Amino acid sequence: MIIKYIIPVLLGVFAAPILGGLISGVDRRLTAWLQSRYGPPILQPFYDVAKLFGKKRNPVNTWQVFCAWLYCTAAMVSVIMFMLQADLLLIFFVQATGATFLVIGALSAVSPYSQIGGHRELIQILTYEPMLVLVFVGMYLVTGSFEVGTIAAYDNPLLIKLPLLFVVLGYALTIKLRKSPFDFSTSHHGHQELVKGLTTEYSGPHLALVEIGHWYEVVLVLLVVSLFWATNIFGAVILVAITYFAEIFVDNITARMTWRWMLGRVWFVGLAMSLANLVWLYAS
Amino acid sequence: MLGTLLFLLIILPFLAALGCYLFRMAFLRSLLVVGSGVVLTVCSLALIGLEPFEFKPPALLWLNADIVVSVLDFALLFLILYIGFRLKNNLIKFLAALQIVVMAYLELFMMEHGASHAAIRCDTLSLVMVLIISIIGSLICIYGLPYMRKHEQHLNLPRSRQPRFFAFMLVLLGAMNGLVLSNDLLYFYFFFEITTLCSFLLVRHDLTDIAKRNAERILWMNSVGGACFALAMMWMYPTTKTLELSAILQMAQGSNLMLWPLALLILAAFTKAAQTPFQSWLTGAMVAPTPVSALLHSSTMVKAGVYLAVRLAPAYHGTFLSTAVALFGAFVFMTTAALAMGQSNAKKVLAYSTISNLGLIFACAGLNTSAAITAAILLIIFHAISKALMFMCVGTIEQKIHSRDIEDMRGIFGKMPLVAMFAFIGALSMLLPPFGVLLSKWMAIEAAANNIFVIAMVAVGSAFTVVFWTRWAGVMSNFPSGRPEPDHQPFLTIAPLGLMTIGAIGVSIFAPWIYSHFVSAAVPAGADAYKISAGVFTTLSGAFWVYPLVVLMAAATFLALRAARKSRNDPHASPYLSGLTAVGPKTFIGPMDKPVNIQASNYYMLNVFGEEKLTMWVNMGALILLAILLGGAL
Amino acid sequence: MQFIKNFIAKSRAKSPWIMHFDCGSCNGCDIEVLACLTPMYDVERFGVVNVGNPKHADVLLVTGTVNPRNQKVLRNLYDQMPDPKGVIAIGSCGLSGGIFRDCYNVVGGVDKVIPVDVYVPGCPAKPEAIIDGVVKALGKFESLRRAG
């Protein structure tokens, strides 16, 4: 009982955001390093979030408060479900619930910046969602199951059978992490055409909730990445580390593109690669 | 007992319709509509547990019921022919004449009459349909009462047209109940044609030019379906020597001779369910008063099409036809969801979303595993409730703001909080866990996982779905701070909306119970596609947590609501407008210090997803797939 | 509970998100402000992020003279920053209106419109001075910690 349920739940609730915050801190450090800067302390994301929690509540309307909370909790639930080895599709649907509410919260504000950010985020969701479903289908075709436990217990690394789908997941990951060239729903730096886009109107504690929700999401996506080398913990960690570094690298060497480019490019390349990889699986 | 129930379910609506038509008093009409709604609901509930049964309709006075149906059928066809002449529409004339000839040939020269048979048959699938039609359909009719009163207030008609309106609405309910309970294809066909005629008359109701034009389109497109149906019956009769559905289903398995008639029946189902390239009749039907749209979309008319496909599923199991139907359904699911992306007209979004969901149901029927059929039936249930709710909300909102454009619903939460909440829940119930539509979508994805093309199209289509629903929900909640002003709606408007909202949440929560008590028994061959323990649907390949998710999401919603309540008294910030926020929350300081209204609008991406851009390609793709479907059946 | 309070108070000083508003500066001070973010000075070391959005900002950096037109904007941006917050006026113009002080269209320094916590002089102010100003403004948050 304890090992099967309570520990995974506790890990999901507490360890995931800590890990997510640390990853975010490392991310900023590495980015600084790539830009020949020194960068903030690794714990910086925690300071940021703590500070935001300490600010006065000043929402634009009550919908936004509702949505920020649901975004964070849905992201948390999705990580818990992953820890409890639920169905990948279901986990992902729950995560999508959170993403949906984040957008609704942004759309509920009158500010056009927030509106545009919300719509762009929707296009991002539109772009990565089919890709993720196809990745899960690929996993199913190899292992015969959509469940995390069964997929993780498969005796060979999935990467060997699903190399193209791993690249597709990379696209989805870049979009989900809101990294360049797909960072157009919000950005990490001010002074851009849409201010902070999606998150413009979230402030103080509610922005902190959004940030924590994002950590949960990052952890979830990286956990999915780790499934590609689930046979060995070191393999998984190394794969995740390489993938994440590649994300940061891509973030730093590319410029933001338009949604049209993203949708066309990712769907065309992504669907072609997914179908190719799925056809292999059928053939073998 | 059984006879009485069936009489009440099928014939009573016709009688009540007659009453509505003849007695023009508003009070009596309300009484008749509410009364038959209550009777239908009670009778459909009373039917639970009695199935499966077969029933031989008794002779009416001295006339055999079969003969009555045949005679009425011809009367109906001649009526449609007459309408064709009145409208000077050659296509309708031709199709009606074709049906008359085919039916006459079939009935006079081919069929052996007189053999007594059970024309009415009720199994669990029929029961599920009867419940949907009777309960949801009745609620929509009741909702129609205050709606139509308001509707006519604006029109200043010399003579109220409400009597005929409610008459046709009730006839539609009776016909649908008859349709899903028919075991004899002739009965089925008869009711099939009644639904066509009713929707023609209902869409025409307002008698505007566009209403007349779109109604005409309904008639000819559905006559194509009717003609296919008649041809299919004629084609299969020499092989089967009977038109009893249950017998045909048994005979058809493994018989290649039956594929063509089956393909024709499926084609009839496609036209009825407004699948591409026939989608324009349903999108055109949006000109009708909203209760009509709600009824056509959720519980009647289009559901006749998917019901037929699901009913026939065992007959074409394992054939090429089945795969073709799956591909076609998935194609429709994806493309019409894309068409919905480009729409700002709320009713059109709903229309395309309906077509899209029906496509998914067809895809499931085509996949034809027991898991897929389960998904199809569950989707029929969940979709009916959510869609009825959405239509009724849009109708109510439209009467308040006099627009059905999503852009005009910006901040509707501030003007009619309760209805906006219902609409919000309705929209979310179409796409979020733990709501039932998502459960069936999950089932559909897992069932489709072995067919690459189907799964790819389903994956893309469901992403479109997320976008246009979220966009809409967001727009409705777009509301500057402050308390919304309360809005007063008549009880007969709020009650159906409230009941439907509770229903949408309720059926989602009790999905495992509904599955094990109704749906599993309705799935032919393989009742245990899903194992259920502690509210979790389990298959070999995955699991959908219903109860755990309900608990978790309810807790999350509770926390969020509590936080939102608490922050009601917080100081609310003005929106960020580059520091130029003016006095009102929706204006900024423009040139010459004059306030300027903020204009923000949704992305509709018209140059990618616009109706004009996409429809031609979609129709072309659909025609190619239909050609493959029919060609492959040969 | 006390630990969390302390951590939040400590975090305030460690994570000043800034928002830079140019009231009507000649761009000299603005360039110096942006210079702080370059690898040369790299204020992100101290957790400083230029967020460009009042709703996320803790510290408002204002450069340039205030005039009747932009004083509303300044006021509005300041109001939209959630508490606790600080304001830093930068450069001669921001401090007092500078050489434009007596112009017919100039209101004066930033403190004519919103309360200013730290004044950073210079024409233009040096990046080092601006960083020092931010650190001084953090002192305000520090005192909040001691008070609260």
Map out the domains of chain C with their CATH numbers: 2-147 (3.40.50.12280)
Mutate to test the interface with A, among C3, C12, C15, C20 (most CBs of A within 10 A): C15
List of long-range contacts for A237-245, beta carbons under 8 Å, 24+ apart: A239/A159, A243/A170, A243/A173, A244/A23, A244/A27, A245/A30
Please count the structural domains in chain A. 1
**B580 interface with C at CB cutoff 8 Å:** yes
Chains adjacent to B (≥3 CB pairs closer than 8 angstroms): A, C
Q: For B571, which residue in chain C has the nearest alpha carbon?
A: C82
% of chain B residues with pLDDT over 90: 35
Which residues have C-beta within 8 Å of that of residue A61, sequence separation ≥ 6? A108, A109, B479, B480, B481, B482, B572
**Signed CA dihedral, B23, B28, B30, B35: sign only:** negative
Tokens 């509540």, residue located: A57
Domain boundary, last residue among B316, B349, B371: B316
Q: B443 with B372: CB under 8 angstroms?
A: yes
The partner residue sitting opposite C56, judged by closest CB among A38, A56, A196, is A196
**B579 interface with A at CB cutoff 8 Å:** no
Please indicate, yes or no, whether residues B396 and B310 belong to a single structural domain of this protein: no
Indicate the residue type of C65. Answer: T
Closest CA to B364 of B444, B271, B442: B444
Q: Provide the number of CB pairs (under 8 Å) joining chain B to chain C.
A: 25
Q: For A271, which residue in chain B has the nearest alpha carbon?
A: B456
Please indicate, yes or no, whether residues B226 and B270 belong to a single structural domain of this protein: yes
pLDDT at B115: 63
Q: B126 with B180: CB under 8 angstroms?
A: yes
The partner residue sitting opposite C8, judged by closest CB among A54, A190, A207, is A54
CA B378 to chain centre: 13
∠B297-B208-B157 over CA atoms, to 5°? 105
Structure tokens at C13: 């000083």
The partner residue sitting opposite B467, judged by closest CB among A57, A65, A122, is A122
Residues of chain B contacting A73 with CB distance shorter than 8 Å: 555-556, 559-560
Q: pLDDT band for C5, please (50, 70, 90 cuts).
A: confident
CB contact under 8 A, B452 and A275: yes
Q: Is B295 exposed, middle or buried (0-12, 13-18, 19+ CB in 10 A)?
A: buried
Indicate the residue type of B281. Answer: W
Please indicate, yes or no, whether residues B197 and B171 belong to a single structural domain of this protein: yes
pLDDT at A95: 92
Q: B287 with B210: CB under 8 angstroms?
A: yes
- According to DSSP, residue A146 is labeled -
CB contact under 8 A, A203 and C83: no
Phi, psi dihedral angles at B345 (to 5 degrees): -80, 115
B318: left (phi over 0), alpha (psi -120 to 50) or beta: left
CB contact under 8 A, A44 and C58: no
Indicate the residue type of B429. Answer: S
CB contact under 8 A, A58 and B573: yes
CB contact under 8 A, A60 and B572: yes
CB contact under 8 A, B589 and C72: yes
Residues of chain A contacting C39 with CB distance shorter than 8 Å: 35-37
What b/e sequence results for A123-140 when a residue is b if at least 16 CB atoms lie within 10 Å of its CB, and e otherwise?
A: bbbbbbbbbbbbbbbbbb
Alpha carbon of C34: minimum distance to chain B alpha carbons (Å): 20
Q: B406 with B602: CB under 8 angstroms?
A: yes
Q: Which helix (H) or strand (E) holds C18?
A: strand C17-24
∠A246-A251-A256 over CA atoms, to 5°? 145
Q: pLDDT band for B239, please (50, 70, 90 cuts).
A: confident
- Residue A41 neighbours by CB distance under 10 Å: 15
Please indicate, yes or no, whether residues B482 and B402 belong to a single structural domain of this protein: yes
Which of B56-70, B265-279, B301-315, B604-618 is predicted with the least confidence, judged by mean pLDDT? Answer: B56-70
Please indicate, yes or no, whether residues B301 and B331 belong to a single structural domain of this protein: no
Is B598 among the domain residues? no
The partner residue sitting opposite A130, judged by closest CB among B463, B477, B553, is B463
- According to DSSP, residue B581 is labeled B
Is B554 among the domain residues? yes
Which residues have C-beta within 8 Å of that of residue A202, sequence separation ≥ 6? A64, A68, A105, A106, A210, C55
Q: Is the pLDDT of residue C146 over 60?
A: no
∠B237-B238-B244 over CA atoms, to 5°? 30
H-only helix segments in B510-546:
511-514, 520-522
Beta strands B536-538 and B543-545, pairing class: antiparallel
CB contact under 8 A, B572 and A58: yes
**In which domain, by residue range, is A46 found?**
2-283
Mean pLDDT of chain B: 87
Domain boundary, last residue among B316, B344, B379: B316
Q: In whole angstroms, how far apart are CA A52 and each of A40, C10, C17? A: 17, 12, 10
Residues B433-476 have pLDDT tens digits of 888 899 999 999 988 888 889 999 999 999 999 999 999 998 88
Average pLDDT over residues B108-130: 81
Structure tokens at B107: 């009935």
Is B605 among the domain residues? no
**C82 interface with B at CB cutoff 8 Å:** yes
Average pLDDT over residues C55-76: 90
Residues B13-48 have pLDDT tens digits of 999 999 988 888 888 889 999 999 999 999 999 888
Which residues have C-beta within 8 Å of that of residue A85, sequence separation ≥ 6? A8, A147, A148, A149, A152
Please indicate, yes or no, whether residues B330 and B264 belong to a single structural domain of this protein: no
Is B283 among the domain residues? yes
- According to DSSP, residue A191 is labeled S
Please indicate, yes or no, whether residues B301 and B312 belong to a single structural domain of this protein: yes
Please indicate, yes or no, whether residues B291 and B418 belong to a single structural domain of this protein: no
Peptide bond into B434 cis (omega under 30): yes
Closest CA to A181 of A258, A121, A260, A125: A258
CB contact under 8 A, C11 and A51: yes
Q: A104 with B474: CB under 8 angstroms?
A: yes
Is B82 among the domain residues? yes
Please count the structural domains in chain B. 2
Tell me the Cα Rg of chain B: 24
- According to DSSP, residue B61 is labeled T
Mutate to test the interface with A, among B454, B478, B550 (most CBs of A within 10 A): B478
CB contact under 8 A, B579 and C82: no
Please indicate, yes or no, whether residues B216 and B134 belong to a single structural domain of this protein: yes
Q: A177 with A169: CB under 8 angstroms?
A: no
Residues B317-364 have pLDDT tens digits of 888 888 999 999 999 999 999 999 988 888 899 999 999 999 999 999
**Which residues make beta-bridge pairs with B244?**
B184
Alpha carbon of A50: minimum distance to chain C alpha carbons (Å): 5
Which residues have C-beta within 8 Å of that of residue C80, sequence separation ≥ 6? B573, B574, B576, B579, B581, C54, C55
Please indicate, yes or no, whether residues B301 and B327 belong to a single structural domain of this protein: no
Average pLDDT over residues B507-534: 81
Please indicate, yes or no, whether residues B286 and B338 belong to a single structural domain of this protein: no
Structure tokens at B58: 């008794």
Q: Is the pLDDT of residue B528 over 80?
A: no
pTM greater than the 0.80 cutoff: yes
∠A92-A94-A100 over CA atoms, to 5°? 100
∠C57-C58-C63 over CA atoms, to 5°? 80
The partner residue sitting opposite C47, judged by closest CB among A44, A56, A199, is A44
CA pair distance B69, B544, nearest whole angstrom? 46
Q: Is the pLDDT of residue C148 over 50?
A: no
Helix (H, G, I), strand (E, B) or coil at B582: coil
Q: Where are the beta strands (DSSP E) in A24-92?
A: none
Which of A9-18, B177-186, B319-328, B577-586 is predicted with the least confidence, judged by mean pLDDT? Answer: B577-586
Q: pLDDT band for B298, please (50, 70, 90 cuts).
A: confident
Domain boundary, last residue among B288, B316, B344: B316
Q: In whole angstroms, how far apart are CA A238 and each of A21, A250, B363, B576? A: 19, 18, 41, 43
CA pair distance A37, B413, nearest whole angstrom? 48
What b/e sequence results for B478-513 when a residue is b if at least 16 CB atoms lie within 10 Å of its CB, and e otherwise?
A: bbbbeebeebebeebbbebbebbbebbbebbbbbbe
Beta strands B595-597 and B587-589, pairing class: antiparallel
CA pair distance B70, A119, nearest whole angstrom? 56
Is B579 among the domain residues? no
Phi, psi dihedral angles at B282 (to 5 degrees): -75, -40
Q: For chain B, what's the residue count?
A: 634
Is B591 among the domain residues? no
What is the C-alpha end-to-end distance of chain C, expressed in Å?
13
Please indicate, yes or no, whether residues B480 and B619 belong to a single structural domain of this protein: yes
Mutate to test the interface with C, among B481, B572, B581 (most CBs of C within 10 A): B581
Closest CA to B145 of B171, B163, B158: B163
Tokens 């991406």, residue located: B605
**In which domain, by residue range, is B32 found?**
1-152+160-316
ipTM summary value: 0.93
Which residues have C-beta within 8 Å of that of residue B226, sequence separation ≥ 6? B95, B99, B189, B192, B193, B196, B268
Alpha carbon of B431: minimum distance to chain A alpha carbons (Å): 8
- Residue B27 neighbours by CB distance under 10 Å: 8
Q: Is A42 exposed, middle or buried (0-12, 13-18, 19+ CB in 10 A)?
A: middle
Q: What is the pLDDT along chain A (284 residues), one digit of tens a residue?
A: 677 788 888 888 999 999 999 999 999 999 999 988 888 999 999 999 999 998 888 888 888 899 999 999 999 999 999 998 889 999 999 999 999 999 999 998 888 888 888 999 999 999 999 999 999 999 999 998 899 988 988 888 888 889 999 999 999 999 888 888 888 887 766 556 777 888 888 988 999 999 999 999 999 999 999 999 988 889 899 999 999 999 999 988 888 888 888 888 899 999 999 999 998 888 87
Is B586 among the domain residues? no
The DSSP result for B139-152, as a single string, is: HHHHHHHHHHHHHH
Residues C86-137 have pLDDT tens digits of 899 999 998 988 888 888 989 888 988 999 999 999 889 999 999 999 888 8
